[in-house]
Amino acid sequence: MLIEAPRGTQDILPGVSANWQYIEQTMRDICRLYGYKEIRTPVFEHTELFLRGIGETTDIVSKEMYTFTDRKERSLTLRPENTAAVVRSYLENKMYAESLLTKLFYIGPMFRYDRPQAGRYRQFHQFGIEALGAKGPSIDAEVIILAVQLLERLGLTDLNLYVNSVGCPECRPVYREKLQEYLKGKTEELCSDCQSRFDRNPMRILDCKNPQCGEASQGAPHIVDCLCDECSNHFEQLKILLQAANINFTLNPRLVRGLDYYTKTAFEIQYAPLGAQSAVCGGGRYDGLVEECGGQPTASIGLAVGMERILLALEKQNLLPAANNQIDVFVAPMGKETQGMAFKLLCDLRKNGIIADMDFMDRNIKGQMKQANKYPARFVAIIGEDEAAQGKVMLKNMESGIQELVDSSEVQNKL
Ligand code: AMP
């Protein structure tokens, strides 16, 4: 047990950490293009924040949180997602006073107690963005286009973008009633989770993965047919903006988030080859959340991308860059007498920004050449006793095999 990571967690080993750095860098580059600045919040928060900010009726809060009490009996929770924490920080740090629109991004681990499977973990990582303060549909379009451009830049094709509108506290109750009316005679056919959702959160029945529930709700009315004028206009404008930007999308009336502070736009991007866990990105508008957390009403929208799933998708399509372990030079002393000079050369080279290494395991010269090839090293600086006596090294170009005797102070220039 001591040498096994907890179920649903995984180590990111040196062989794959470069892949993570690559996708993280692509995300950072995109955010720079669109003007989103990084925020880093703690990995745990007061439990209360998530009860409020995600909603007590959601699966995340009711079944999946890692909650614990600390030594002073405070209830804390490892963050299961980051929007609530970003909103908390936005309010606590009065970011709203700095500008009318606040655009933030984050990258980091999230924690959910769920049944682990391929593409679903208990500690996973999300890249997310949040735009707080703007209510018009163009920011919705920007957020969606940012996600599409990110995935395209990583080389992913065959993506499906689904969009819907979940209305607002004005029009949604009307829809809720219509939906309940439709499902009333069918509650027997629903799974036990959905039976309890019927009263609390009936819209969530629409996106239940259980096939019986899908069948029972097949002919259910669509929320887009029940939107108030404002929500309907917003959704129409969004579609026009996406079309103008040549973004393909499909309307999906089953894409829902049942809570009051989720409003208007909801969207998801799927990468079908991932199978059961095909959602790589999800997002939407949450015009009521900032107020729910104690701030002024602040129209906002955000998204989150699952990094492990992106990595799986890139692996599947062979889109990860080849590993680059090459170093500039491997310093190879021949015997103990020249080790001191070799070590000094190594330090000088590194100080000057040259990627250099040497043997620390007392290998003989043959073993050291093997090491140099393994990297691979572009050059090997061999230091024998004769060379050392003259302050010189034998610099071997590993590609051409050509050797040249150079002053040790000249090695850097020769590289
Ligand atoms: P959500 O916060 O549930 O809207 O999820 C946003 C994205 O995070 C999803 O589209 C997934 O790509 C990813 N995600 C959510 N839960 C997990 C999990 N347990 N393991 C891995 N990725 C996840």
333 closest CA partner among 300, 306, 371 = 371
Taking the centre of ligand 1 as the mean of its atom positions, its distance from the CA of residue 232, in whole angstroms, is 28
Q: Is the peptide bond before 109 cis (omega within 30 degrees of 0)?
A: no
Question: Global pTM?
Answer: 0.93
Distance CA 395, CA 400 (A): 12
Taking the centre of ligand 1 as the mean of its atom positions, its distance from the CA of residue 122, in whole angstroms, is 10
Q: Which atom of ligand 1 is nearest to the CA of 119?
A: 21
Pocket of ligand 1 contains residue 368 by CB under 6 Å = no
Tokens of 228: 């108030």
- In this structure, are residues 318 and 368 in contact, taking their beta carbons and an 8 Å threshold? no
Q: How far apart are the first and last CA of the chain?
A: 49
Cα-based distances in Å from 186 to 179, 183, 218, 256: 11, 5, 11, 20
- In this structure, are residues 103 and 263 in contact, taking their beta carbons and an 8 Å threshold? no
B/e letters for 173-182, b = 16+ CB within 10 Å, e = fewer, are eebbebbeee
Per-residue pLDDT of the chain (415 residues; tens, 9 = 90+): 789 999 999 999 999 999 999 999 999 999 999 999 999 999 999 999 999 998 888 889 989 999 999 999 999 999 999 999 999 999 999 999 999 999 999 999 999 999 999 999 999 999 999 999 999 999 999 999 999 999 999 999 989 999 999 999 999 999 999 999 999 989 899 999 899 889 888 998 998 888 999 999 999 999 999 999 999 999 999 999 999 999 999 999 999 875 668 899 999 999 999 988 899 999 999 999 999 999 999 999 999 999 999 999 999 999 999 999 999 999 999 999 999 999 999 999 999 999 999 999 999 999 999 999 999 999 999 999 999 999 999 999 999 999 999 999 999 998 8
Taking the centre of ligand 1 as the mean of its atom positions, its distance from the CA of residue 32, in whole angstroms, is 24
Pocket of ligand 1 contains residue 81 by CB under 6 Å = yes
Pocket of ligand 1 contains residue 126 by CB under 6 Å = yes
Pocket of ligand 1 contains residue 281 by CB under 6 Å = yes
Q: Whose CA is nearest to atom 15 of ligand 1?
A: 306
Taking the centre of ligand 1 as the mean of its atom positions, its distance from the CA of residue 248, in whole angstroms, is 22
Pocket of ligand 1 contains residue 107 by CB under 6 Å = no
216 burial (CB, 10 Å; 0-12 / 13-18 / 19+) is buried
Q: Whose CA is nearest to atom 1 of ligand 1?
A: 282
Of 63, 110, 156, the residue with max ligand 1 atoms within 8 A of its CB, to mutate for a pocket test, comes to 110
Distance CA 82, CA 132 (A): 14
- In this structure, are residues 338 and 384 in contact, taking their beta carbons and an 8 Å threshold? yes
Single-letter code of the amino acid located at 174: V
Pocket of ligand 1 contains residue 279 by CB under 6 Å = yes
Pocket of ligand 1 contains residue 121 by CB under 6 Å = yes
Pocket of ligand 1 contains residue 112 by CB under 6 Å = yes
Distance CA 213, CA 371 (A): 60
Number of residues written out for the chain: 415
